[in-house]
């Protein structure tokens, strides 16, 4: 950490003592806060607990938004290129019951209590951190960090899910109409996952009073968007997850729901 | 405000100190320059002036306050624009003379005299202008045409009357009311006629009121009437004299009679032309009206000159010399040539006139080659017109230009320019032009061997002493002698210009050394003019031309990507904001934004250790008169180069020597121009331009021109200015 800070310090000094450097009037760094939001559409059900809007769930007809918070640091490399790094954070819950079907399949391939399907009540609590390294490429006529740009870069999404196994019994109904209840083994009560993605998008940078940057636009997580489209079936997400992979897959589904498309607004300080 | 006595004292001091010692025009002419202390208009905050005018207006009981407040805004900015344009002469010999005339006219009205600010304007137009603030501008074109001091005094009286009668503001209000009248069903033509009628009434009133003022002095009444003759024939040169081709001839060069127009057309009399759509009554009506006033007045004892005839003639000659410059600046080479020719009759040994004529000859040589162009946007869109479109003696010059083939013109031009160079060896422009002509002559279908042709008799009598071929060729002169001898033997040449350089070849080592050797002539025959494929040298050309500029990159990219510059002359950044709703420039907003732009440019330049020398009339103090003159020189250069020429390949000719002095003075040949135009209201648009011209190479070395579909925000402007300086220092 100490080495990293020293390196950053040296970089700052070098960048600001050079005569005639790219950037906004010679200022090359931006650091600031970003606010991301997206309409809570499929895969976004959160039981009204983490998103803007009461009972937020677009699938039930209520307008709601997912939100993500970001801290970023950007450096103007060239006249039309910025390299940036960001950490995005979100904390959400996931209402399995309303969104996800569970095919109660055992590990040896047989179903609990016949071929019934069911819902698992209760919430997952998902905390996510996404680490991105990205490039902003400014369009013709514009010069970094001012103007319209295209953003692209790799991102690593990490997410941690916690839940209470005792609040998640499966209510399964068999073919003959018999309903039974049991607690499947969904794994540990705290599980962490990672996934890789590519962010891409378009934005617009403004500079206010030669010091404050305002950045707005939208971006997508390419793989998240693609898989969401491919896996979406008629309003509900359907799969035959086994109990052992239920938490992992549903958490990632929720994470994709948050990240696949976002509008953003950032405010930064130019130095 | 200066009083008459203090103004007279300052003038006297200037004369006494030798500042305005009269020029010796028989030898040379030094172009007019502003002198002394700059007037208040240069240093005052125009926004405060406008604000004060409007405050004063609001205190009055006036029904047209809105219109008049708009007028005050526009008029103040227009006056400032004219005074700071670089074309207004301040405290120069001509302006001081005009002020002396005003002193005579208003000797009994010091209050009015003190309200007036009178300046000569560097313009070839025959006109004068009066503004409500007491600013009166008299074109040099008008002074050059005036015949007597009394005529000029009457014209000045007329303009003073416009001021005293507040015609400018009244005319504005009236025109605006006519334009805004949407309910009367009047057509555009009806409105135009109404406006013109109103304007004519003002002019007639100024004629009569001006005469009353004129009458108070002791000037000859008939000169007031004759002043209208000056206006009547303002389209003609200031004098009409026959142009004799002998002017360009020497003992060895006679221009064929076929190139001389013997009978010239008569002068048309348009005194009674239809003036219904004119802002001024026709001159016949004006002359009659003044004639009626004179008829019953006693004119005895009245004089044409109160100050002095000598002073008037001198000042008029200064204006006429300036006319040569102004015609050159406008690329009006035939008129420049003719004006210089007229003056040359009076001042045959004037170096400046030889330079003007040489520039005309040189420019026409380039014009014939297509290197000086008049495109459709130029005020001379038709180029050099046929002689039939001209009246009287000037036809002869037009006839000669159009009749003489291009190669012959080039041959003749070299002859005149080189001989002028020999006559005035200290003239830098003549020396440089002569060198350029040696380059141009390469493209003539005649090589050195052709120019040394001569007939036996002349050779025997005059120049050629040798009668045998030099066997051992040691020099170019030996070669010439050999070729001559061969030509004598063959005796086959008949061209009238064959001997044009004969004496120079034999007696002038410089000429021989500079004249391109036959073996070096690169000539590709072409049909038509006889010129080959002219590729001007970039090393020794007087004017650095570039026939086809090699463009790099796409539109909007820099012309030279790798140019690195660290010092520039910053020529008046401009900011124009157009109000779409009002369909006109928002002067106040533009002014504020321009101030901010200048500040930003300076800040960024300083921050990045970029050296700039500001030549901006908006940033001057009262002692910066030299900068006004330098600004004027550069402005003229840009006008000539870019006028109507979007490709910016224009060839500056007329003040290149002055520009070279500026390059030495400021230590850089790079001139940076930055400008922004923005639209407000409706769709937003912003145009940003920054460009650098290298005065040495006559080339645009940097250009950033971009259009944005957005508002002219601070970050847009700052980014583009920073980008400009960044790319200048580092290349693209």
A20 touches chain B (CB under 8 A): yes
Q: Collect all residues with Cβ–Cβ distance below 8 Å to A227 and sequence separation of at least 6.
A: A256
Chain B residues with beta carbon closer than 8 angstroms to that of A24: 715, 718-719, 722
Inter-chain CB proximity B719 and A24 less than 8 Å:
yes
Determine the average pLDDT of the residues in B153-174.
90
A270 touches chain B (CB under 8 A): no
Residue B132 pLDDT: 83
Q: Collect all residues with Cβ–Cβ distance below 8 Å to B210 and sequence separation of at least 6.
A: B154, B157, B158, B159, B160, B161
d(CA B180, CA B563): 52
Residue B481 pLDDT: 67
B730 touches chain A (CB under 8 A): yes
Determine the average pLDDT of the residues in B27-49.
90
B726 touches chain A (CB under 8 A): yes
Given a cut of 70, is residue B241 above it in pLDDT? yes
Residue A238 pLDDT: 46
How close is the nearest chain B Cα to the Cα of A208, in Å? 7
A26 touches chain B (CB under 8 A): yes
Residue B645 pLDDT: 52
* Residue of B722, B725, B729 to mutate, testing the A interface (most A Cβ within 10 Å of its Cβ): B722
- At A61, the pLDDT band (50, 70, 90 cuts) reads low
Determine the average pLDDT of the residues in B405-428.
93
Highest mean pLDDT among A17-26, A52-61, A133-142: A133-142
Residue A21 pLDDT: 66
Domain B567-730 fold is: Rossmann fold (3.40.50)
How close is the nearest chain A Cα to the Cα of B598, in Å? 15
- At B489, the pLDDT band (50, 70, 90 cuts) reads low
Q: Residues B324, B343: contact at Cβ < 8 Å?
A: yes
Domain holding A34, by residue range, is: 2-270
Given a cut of 80, is residue B585 above it in pLDDT? yes
d(CA A67, CA A38): 7
User: How far is CA B131 from its chain centroid?
Assistant: 23
Given a cut of 60, is residue A98 above it in pLDDT? no
Residue A51 pLDDT: 47
Query: DSSP strand E in A63-178: where?
Result: 65-78, 81-95, 101-102, 118-119, 123-138, 147-162, 170-173
- At B25, the pLDDT band (50, 70, 90 cuts) reads very high
Instruction: Output B657 or A108, whichever has higher pLDDT.
Output: B657
Name the closest residue on chain A to residue B566, using Cα atoms.
A20
Contact map slice: B 280-309 vs A, CB within 8 A? none
Specify the pairing of strand B135-139 against strand B128-130: antiparallel
Domain parsing of chain B, residue ranges: 4-315, 567-730
Determine the average pLDDT of the residues in B456-468.
45
The per-residue pLDDT for range B423-435, each reduced to its tens digit, is 999 998 899 899 9
Give me the CATH number covering residue A243.
2.40.160.20
A17 touches chain B (CB under 8 A): no
Chain A residues with beta carbon closer than 8 angstroms to that of B604: 25
Given a cut of 90, is residue B283 above it in pLDDT? no
Residue B701 pLDDT: 86
- At B542, the pLDDT band (50, 70, 90 cuts) reads very low
Residue A41 pLDDT: 67
Instruction: Output B481 or B455, whichever has higher pLDDT.
Output: B481
Q: Looking at the DSSP assignment, which residues form a beta bridge with residue B694?
A: B670, B699
The per-residue pLDDT for range B306-348, each reduced to its tens digit, is 999 999 999 999 999 999 999 988 888 899 999 999 999 999 9
Residue B563 pLDDT: 64
**How many domains in chain A?**
1
pLDDT over 90, % of chain B: 37
- At B648, the pLDDT band (50, 70, 90 cuts) reads very low
Residue A155 pLDDT: 95
Q: What is the CA radius of gyration of chain A?
A: 22
Q: Residues B553, B727: contact at Cβ < 8 Å?
A: no
Inter-chain CB proximity B719 and A208 less than 8 Å:
no
Given a cut of 80, is residue B573 above it in pLDDT? yes
Q: Residues B732, B562: contact at Cβ < 8 Å?
A: yes
Cβ of B348: how many Cβ atoms within 10 Å? 10
The per-residue pLDDT for range B668-701, each reduced to its tens digit, is 999 999 999 999 887 889 999 998 888 888 788 8
Residue B376 pLDDT: 52
Given a cut of 80, is residue A86 above it in pLDDT? yes
Q: Residues B491, B456: contact at Cβ < 8 Å?
A: yes
* Residue of A19, A22, A25 to mutate, testing the B interface (most B Cβ within 10 Å of its Cβ): A25
The per-residue pLDDT for range A140-197, each reduced to its tens digit, is 889 889 999 999 999 999 999 998 888 877 766 666 767 777 777 788 889 999 999 9
Q: What is the ipTM of this complex?
A: 0.75
> At A237, is the secondary structure helix, strand, or coil?
strand
Question: Which has the minimum average pLDDT: A9-18, B11-20, B210-219?
Answer: A9-18
Given a cut of 70, is residue A36 above it in pLDDT? yes
Instruction: Output B201 or A24, whichever has higher pLDDT.
Output: A24
Residue A167 pLDDT: 80
How close is the nearest chain A Cα to the Cα of B696, in Å? 26
φ, ψ at A70 (rounded to 5°)? -135, 145
pLDDT over 70, % of chain B: 78
Identify the CA nearest to B415 among candidates B399, B438, B444, B445.
B438
Given a cut of 50, is residue A39 above it in pLDDT? yes
A1 touches chain B (CB under 8 A): no
Determine the average pLDDT of the residues in B534-548.
36
pLDDT over 90, % of chain A: 37
d(CA B616, CA B169): 29
Cis peptide before A145 (omega within 30 of 0): yes
d(CA B79, CA A121): 82
Determine the average pLDDT of the residues in B536-543.
36
Instruction: Output B648 or B426, whichever has higher pLDDT.
Output: B426
Question: Which has the minimum average pLDDT: B59-73, B169-183, B574-588?
Answer: B169-183
Helix and strand totals (H; E) in chain A? 4, 14
SS3 letters for B490-536? Answer: HCCCCCCCCCCCHHHHHHCHHHHHHCCCHHHCCCCCCCCCCCCCCCC
Of B556, B608, B723, the CB nearest to A143: B723
Residue B530 pLDDT: 25
d(CA B117, CA B238): 26
Inter-chain CB proximity B607 and A79 less than 8 Å:
no
Maximum separation of any 2 CA atoms in chain B, in Å: 100
Residue B342 pLDDT: 96
- Averaged pLDDT score across all residues of chain B: 81
Name the closest residue on chain A to residue B610, using Cα atoms.
A20
Residue B332 pLDDT: 87
d(CA B102, CA B113): 7
Residue A62 pLDDT: 62
d(CA B493, CA A96): 108
Instruction: Output B689 or A113, whichever has higher pLDDT.
Output: B689
A69 touches chain B (CB under 8 A): no
Chain B residues with beta carbon closer than 8 angstroms to that of A25: 604, 607, 718-719, 722
On the CB side of A71, how many CA atoms lie within 13 Å of its CA? 3
- At B91, the pLDDT band (50, 70, 90 cuts) reads very high
d(CA B624, CA A267): 46
How close is the nearest chain B Cα to the Cα of A196, in Å? 36
Question: Which has the minimum average pLDDT: B301-305, B480-484, B583-587, B645-649?
Answer: B645-649
Question: Which has the minimum average pLDDT: B22-36, B51-65, B124-138, B631-645?
Answer: B631-645
Chain B residues with beta carbon closer than 8 angstroms to that of A16: none
Identify the CA nearest to B640 among candidates B86, B188, B250.
B86
CA distances from B342 to A125, B246, B336, B339, B576 (A): 99, 14, 10, 5, 42
Of B608, B716, B718, the CB nearest to A210: B718
- At B651, the pLDDT band (50, 70, 90 cuts) reads low
Residue B533 pLDDT: 30
Residue B275 pLDDT: 64
């Amino acid at each position: 950490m100490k080495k990293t800070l020293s390196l950053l310090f040296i970089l700052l000094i070098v960048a600001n003592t050079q005569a005639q450097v790219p950037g906004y009037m010679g200022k090359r760094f931006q650091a600031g806060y970003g606010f991301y939001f997206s309409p809570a559409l499929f895969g976004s059900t959160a039981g009204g607990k983490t998103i803007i809007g009461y009972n937020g769930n677009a699938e039930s007809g209520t307008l709601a938004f997912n939100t993500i918070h970001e801290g970023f640091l950007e450096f103007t490399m060239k006249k039309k290129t910025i390299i940036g790094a960001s950490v995005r954070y979100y904390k959400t819950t996931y209402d399995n019951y309303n969104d996800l079907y569970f095919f109660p399949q055992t590990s040896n391939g047989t179903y609990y209590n016949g071929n019934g399907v069911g819902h698992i009540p209760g919430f997952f609590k998902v905390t996510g951190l996404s680490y991105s390294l990205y490039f902003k490429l400014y369009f013709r006529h514009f010069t970094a960090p001012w103007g319209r740009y295209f953003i692209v870069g790799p991102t690593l999404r990490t997410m941690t899910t916690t839940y209470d196994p005792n609040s998640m019994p499966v209510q399964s109904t068999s073919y003959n109409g018999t309903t039974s209840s049991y607690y499947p083994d969904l794994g540990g009560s705290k599980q962490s996952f990672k996934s890789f993605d590519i962010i891409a998008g378009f934005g617009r940078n403004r500079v206010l009073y030669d010091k404050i940057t305002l950045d707005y636009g939208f971006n997508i997580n390419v793989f998240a968007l693609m898989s969401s489209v491919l896996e979406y079936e008629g309003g509900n997400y359907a799969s035959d997850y086994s109990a052992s992979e239920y938490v992992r897959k549903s958490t990632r589904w929720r994470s994709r729901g948050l990240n696949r498309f976002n509008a953003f607004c950032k405010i930064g300080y130019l130095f | 405000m200066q009083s008459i006595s203090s103004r007279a004292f300052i003038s006297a001091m200037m004369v006494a100190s030798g500042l305005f010692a009269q020029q010796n025009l028989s030898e040379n002419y030094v172009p007019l320059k502003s002198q002394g202390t700059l007037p208040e208009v240069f240093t005052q905050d125009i926004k405060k002036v406008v604000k004060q005018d409007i405050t004063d207006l609001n205190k009055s009981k006036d029904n047209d306050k809105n219109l008049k407040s708009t007028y005050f805004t526009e008029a103040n900015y227009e006056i400032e624009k004219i005074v700071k344009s670089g074309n207004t002469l301040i405290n120069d010999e001509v302006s001081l003379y005009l002020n002396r005339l005003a002193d005579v006219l208003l000797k009994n009205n010091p209050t009015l005299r003190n309200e007036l600010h009178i300046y000569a304007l560097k313009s070839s137009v025959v006109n004068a202008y009066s503004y409500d603030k007491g600013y009166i501008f008299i074109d040099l074109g008008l002074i050059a045409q005036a015949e007597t001091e009394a005529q000029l005094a009457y014209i000045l009286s007329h303009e003073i009357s416009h001021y005293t009668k507040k015609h400018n503001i009244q005319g504005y209000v009236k025109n605006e009311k006519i334009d805004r009248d949407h309910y009367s069903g009047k057509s555009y033509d009806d409105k135009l006629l109404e406006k013109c009628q109103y304007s004519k009434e003002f002019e007639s009133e100024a004629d009569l009121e001006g005469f009353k003022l004129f009458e108070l002095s002791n000037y000859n009444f008939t000169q007031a009437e004759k002043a209208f003759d000056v206006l009547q024939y303002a389209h003609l040169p200031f004098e009409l004299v026959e142009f004799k081709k002998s002017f360009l001839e020497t003992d060895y060069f006679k221009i064929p009679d076929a190139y001389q127009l013997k009978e010239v057309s008569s002068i048309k009399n348009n005194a009674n032309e239809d003036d219904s759509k004119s802002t001024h009554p026709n001159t016949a009506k004006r002359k009659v009206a003044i004639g009626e006033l004179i008829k019953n007045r006693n004119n005895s004892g009245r004089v044409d000159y109160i100050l002095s005839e000598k002073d008037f003639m001198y000042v008029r000659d200064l204006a006429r010399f300036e006319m040569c410059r102004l015609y050159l600046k406008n690329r009006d080479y035939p008129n420049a040539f003719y004006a210089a020719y007229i003056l040359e009759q009076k001042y045959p040994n004037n170096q400046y006139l030889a330079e003007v004529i040489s520039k005309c000859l040189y420019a026409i040589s380039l014009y014939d080659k297509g290197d000086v162009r008049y495109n459709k946007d130029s005020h001379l869109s038709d180029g050099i017109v046929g002689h039939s479109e001209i009246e009287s003696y000037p036809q002869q010059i037009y006839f000669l230009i159009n009749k003489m083939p291009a190669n012959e013109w080039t041959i003749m031009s070299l002859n005149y320019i080189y001989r002028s160079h020999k006559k005035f060896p200290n003239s830098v422009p003549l020396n440089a032009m002569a060198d350029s002509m040696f380059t141009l002559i390469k493209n003539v279908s005649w090589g050195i061997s052709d120019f040394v042709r001569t007939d036996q008799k002349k050779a025997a009598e005059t120049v050629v002493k040798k009668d045998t071929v030099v066997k051992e060729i040691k020099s170019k002169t030996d070669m010439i002698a050999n070729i001559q001898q061969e030509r004598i033997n063959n005796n086959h040449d008949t061209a009238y210009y064959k001997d044009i350089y004969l004496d120079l070849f034999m007696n002038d080592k410089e000429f021989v050394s500079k004249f391109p050797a036959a073996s070096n002539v690169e000539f590709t025959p072409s049909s038509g003019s006889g010129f080959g494929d002219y590729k001007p040298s970039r090393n020794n050309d007087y004017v650095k031309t570039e026939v086809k500029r090699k463009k790099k990159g796409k539109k909007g990219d820099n012309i030279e990507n790798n140019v690195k510059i660290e010092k520039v002359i910053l020529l008046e950044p401009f900011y124009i904001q157009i109000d779409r709703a009002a369909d006109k420039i928002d002067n106040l907003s533009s002014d504020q934004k321009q101030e901010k732009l200048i500040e930003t440019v300076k800040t960024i330049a300083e921050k990045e250790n970029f050296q700039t020398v500001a030549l901006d009339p908006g940033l001057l103090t009262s002692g910066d008169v030299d900068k006004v003159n330098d600004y004027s020189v550069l402005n003229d250069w840009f006008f000539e180069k870019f006028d109507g020429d979007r490709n910016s390949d224009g060839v500056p000719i007329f003040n290149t020597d002055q520009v070279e002095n500026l390059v030495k003075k400021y230590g850089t040949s790079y001139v940076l121009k930055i400008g922004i135009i923005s639209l407000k209201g409706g769709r937003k648009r912003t145009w940003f331009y920054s460009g650098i011209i290298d005065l040495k190479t006559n080339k645009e070395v940097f250009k950033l021109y971009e259009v944005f579909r957005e508002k002219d925000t601070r970050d847009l402007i700052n980014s583009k200015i920073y980008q400009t300086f960044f790319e200048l220092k580092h290349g693209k």
